[in-house]
Amino acid sequence: MTIATDPTKYMHDDSIYQYYNAEVKARAIGYGDGKEDEKIEIAKSMLDKKYDIHEITGLTGLSIEEINKLQEQPI
């Protein structure tokens, strides 16, 4: 069940409004996790290709500490 993008339309029905809020939160969390996973995969690929750590942080937005943790992980 997908709810329309206008939550005010369903404010009279509390269960539908709660469902709408849950759906919006779930999508936001899922999207955020996917983007972070993508950054990590890109960083791993760049590490494999011997990119400079500062280039990796600049291009992915990950911190130097996060990149260092990736370097320590087994392949």
Tokens of 55: 């280039």
Tokens of 18: 């709660």
Domain assignments of the chain as residue spans, ordered by start: 8-72
CB 38 within 8 A of CB 30: no
pLDDT digits (tens, 9 = 90+) for 7-56: 555 555 566 666 666 666 666 666 666 788 889 999 999 999 999 999 99
pTM: 0.56
Please report, for the chain, how many H helices and E strands are present, in that order.
Answer: 3, 0
